[in-house]
Structure 1
Amino acid sequence: MLTVDFDRLGLVPGDRLLDMGAGAGRHAFEAYRRGADVVALDRDAAELRGVEELFGAMRLEGQVPEDAAARVVEGDALALPFADGEFDRVVAAEVLEHLPADIAAIDELVRVLRPGGTMAVSVPRWFPEIVSWRLSEEYHTVEGGHIRIYTDAELVAKLTGAGLVVEGTGYAHGLHSPYWWLKCAVGVDNDTHPLVRAYHRLLVWEITDAPRVLRWAGRVLDPLIGKSLVVYLRKPEVP
């Protein structure tokens, strides 16, 4: 499930894109399919091995344009191993809520984005997130878990304070918020609970088949209880 809308990001074939905090690679894979030159960065070497393997499989199966490229880099969000202005597009999806030094990470993202380039940043949305925190202490106190809840205004202020210009916002995954509220209510590790299993099957159906009824439900729920806030930004051209 993609959180970032690559059309709103402005991605075109040949763009150099950084997926910072790539995790399992969902956004990196989509950018690769669209013909970008992709760098998937994460600090988790094990996850990056899986991403690299799937990059190779996508190439072998002809799922990507001939001139597209992709690689993985193990690195630190606070010290990105790239030159200033190296990327046309930057994605940081569901990363900043994990980082104590979020402003320093934002500064690094801005540094490696070229003037005129675009960025998409997503974090858990305030209302769905605070409900989960209230329902379960365990939800956010696990190692590497969420350490803050952003309001829309706080995230925008931190991004614009780093010199970016907001081009739009959006919300995603409205169907996923009730799933996490349910998990928090019955125990975040209780995946065998009948209600959790039933709702999980619904989400799998959404992802694999994208039925019209669930697409409609998502369009209705995203602006109301969408689990993720997404901000689309541009780095101003150098005067």
Structure 2
Amino acid sequence: MLTVDFDRLGVGPATKAIDIGAGQGRHSYEMFRRGADVIAFDQSEQDMADVSEMFDALIAAGEVPADAKARAEVGDALRLPYADNSFDVVLMSEILEHIPSDEAAIAEMYRILKPGGVGAVTVPRYWPEKVCWALSDEYHEVEGGHVRIYKASELADKLRRVGLEVTGTDHAHALHAPYWWLKCAVGTENDKNLLVRGYHQLLVWDMMSKPWLTRTGERLLNPVIGKSVALYLRKPAGSTTAG
């Protein structure tokens, strides 16, 4: 389940890319399959161990080009251990809503992106997220949970303040918004609820089978109820650091 359009970012062979806050690695795997030199980066040692194993499995299965490279590294998004202007593509997907010092994380993203490089930031969309918060405190009042709700315009302003150009906006995962509203209504840990179980099975079927009906329906619904908003970015040529 991808939130980012990698065609739009031009990810391909020899692209040097980093997925900050990679989690279970869904975006890192896609960039690896496209032939990139990719780093999956996250503070969770267990997640990065799992991602590293999956990188090896993709290689063993012959699913990646021979020249593609990938590794998983553990660290802090506020203190990235990379030189200025290091990456062609920088991704931060569904991470900023977890970080109290989000502007510091954005500044780090800018710092390591090459002049002329591109990136994407995705966060939960404002109004679907507001519904979740209204239905359930449990949804966000957990350790490592969401600390803010973004309006896309406010996030775009934060990105521009460090020197990034916002080149486009998109929405994704419309089918997932009602699922999370339902979970928030019955209890986020209540996975035995029949409606939650049924909807989850629908989402799994959709992801695995990619049927025309649900794929077309989600495309049409994304502008209306897409759960995530993606902002596409560029670091102007001639830029160096955020300072």
TM-score of the pair, normalised by structure 2: 0.97
Partner residue in 2 for 1:194 = 194
| Residue 131 of structure 2 is aligned to residue 131 of structure 1 | yes
The unaligned stretches of length 5 or more in structure 1 are none
1:157-193, Cα deviation, whole Å (9 max, x unpaired)? 0001110111111000000000000000000000010
Q: How does 1:45-60 map to 2 (within 5 A)?
A: 45-60=45-60
Comparing 179-188 with 212-221, which one deviates more in the overlay? 212-221
Partner residue in 2 for 1:12 = 12
| Residue 69 of structure 2 is aligned to residue 69 of structure 1 | yes
**How far, CA to CA, are the matches of 1:10 and 1:37 in structure 2?**
13
- Matched-pair identity in %: 56
**How far, CA to CA, are the matches of 1:206 and 1:127 in structure 2?**
24
**How far, CA to CA, are the matches of 2:208 and 2:162 in structure 1?**
38
TM-score of the pair, normalised by structure 1: 0.99
Output the amino acid matched with 2:45: A
Output the amino acid matched with 1:147: V
The unaligned stretches of length 5 or more in structure 2 are none
* SS of residue in 1 equivalent to 2:159: helix
Output the amino acid matched with 1:164: L
**How far, CA to CA, are the matches of 1:104 and 1:234 in structure 2?**
18
Partner residue in 1 for 2:160 = 160
Q: How does 1:24-173 map to 2 (within 5 A)?
A: 24-173=24-173
**How far, CA to CA, are the matches of 1:9 and 1:227 in structure 2?**
21
**How far, CA to CA, are the matches of 1:227 and 1:87 in structure 2?**
28
* SS of residue in 1 equivalent to 2:139: helix
Count of matched residue pairs: 239
**How far, CA to CA, are the matches of 2:206 and 2:130 in structure 1?**
25
Tell me how far 1:199 sits from its aligned partner: 0.3
**How far, CA to CA, are the matches of 2:163 and 2:83 in structure 1?**
18
1:112-132, Cα deviation, whole Å (9 max, x unpaired)? 000000010000000000000
| Residue 184 of structure 2 is aligned to residue 223 of structure 1 | no
Q: Compute the RMSD of aligned alpha carbons.
A: 0.6
Tell me how far 1:149 sits from its aligned partner: 0.1
Partner residue in 2 for 1:22 = 22
1:51-80, Cα deviation, whole Å (9 max, x unpaired)? 000000101111000000000110100000
Tell me how far 1:232 sits from its aligned partner: 0.3
Tell me how far 1:12 sits from its aligned partner: 2.1
**How far, CA to CA, are the matches of 1:168 and 1:37 in structure 2?**
25
4+ residue runs over 3 A deviation: none
**How far, CA to CA, are the matches of 1:70 and 1:131 in structure 2?**
38
**How far, CA to CA, are the matches of 2:156 and 2:210 in structure 1?**
31
Partner residue in 2 for 1:209 = 209
Output the amino acid matched with 2:116: G
**How far, CA to CA, are the matches of 2:162 and 2:95 in structure 1?**
17
